[in-house]
A = this chain, B = another copy of it.
Amino acid sequence: MATYFSGGTEGDWLVRDTHQIIGQTLPHVTHLKILNGTDGVSDSFWTISGVSSHARYTHRAEKIELNALQASLGRSEATCGALIPIKKSEEWWSFTQDERRNIFENKSKHIANSLKYLPAIARKLYHSRDLGEPFDFITWFEFSPTHVSDFNNLLAELRASEEWKYVVREVDIRVVKAPKS
């Protein structure tokens, strides 16, 4: 059920940069492997995992817009990827659902801002907090080289938002698809 993101010396994605955004970074590696199970993670330097679960904040009207616009993973032109694991503060998790939703969307416009970048940026969210993982979420993005600056703008908007005041650990790992051998 869980998906494993393994940093090491082999994998379908070549790691270009490992940016420490806030908190402890992950060691820089040359390759990233994405696995649906624990087979093949043993030769890795680090492995983080999460599960694709139900959305925690999205309302129906937003989901209809997202579904209409979003692209799927695995597009041939989407040769750029980003793996962004995030941990939020204890204060964030002590908020009630209405308080978290208020910061997430009413104040930070997390969904509304992200919609502007669809379908160029494909995205999949994995939940890690209940698994006892070091990060609370792992977000995986795929986009074409022509949309790198759009992707950077999306991240800049999110990181400037009130929601991001509660992010205590974030690593931004940029990858490109390895040429087929």
Over the window 88-108 of chain A, the binary record of Cβ atoms lying under 8 Å from chain B Cβ atoms (1 yes, 0 no) is 000001101111010000000
Is A146 interfacial (CB 8 A cutoff)?
no
Is A2 interfacial (CB 8 A cutoff)?
yes
Question: How many residues of A are in contact with the other chain, CB < 8 A?
Answer: 25
A96 pairs with B63, CB closer than 8 A: yes
> Which residues, 103 to 141 on A, are CB-close (under 8 Å) to B?
127, 129-132
B97 pairs with A129, CB closer than 8 A: no
Q: How many copies does the complex hold?
A: 2
- Residues of chain B within 8 A of A58, CB atoms compared: 96-97
- Residues of chain B within 8 A of A101, CB atoms compared: 97
Over the window 46-76 of chain A, the binary record of Cβ atoms lying under 8 Å from chain B Cβ atoms (1 yes, 0 no) is 0000010111111110110000000000000
B132 pairs with A130, CB closer than 8 A: no
Is A1 interfacial (CB 8 A cutoff)?
yes
Query: What's the Cα separation between A60 and B54 when bound, in Å?
Result: 22
Query: What's the Cα separation between A60 and B2 when bound, in Å?
Result: 32
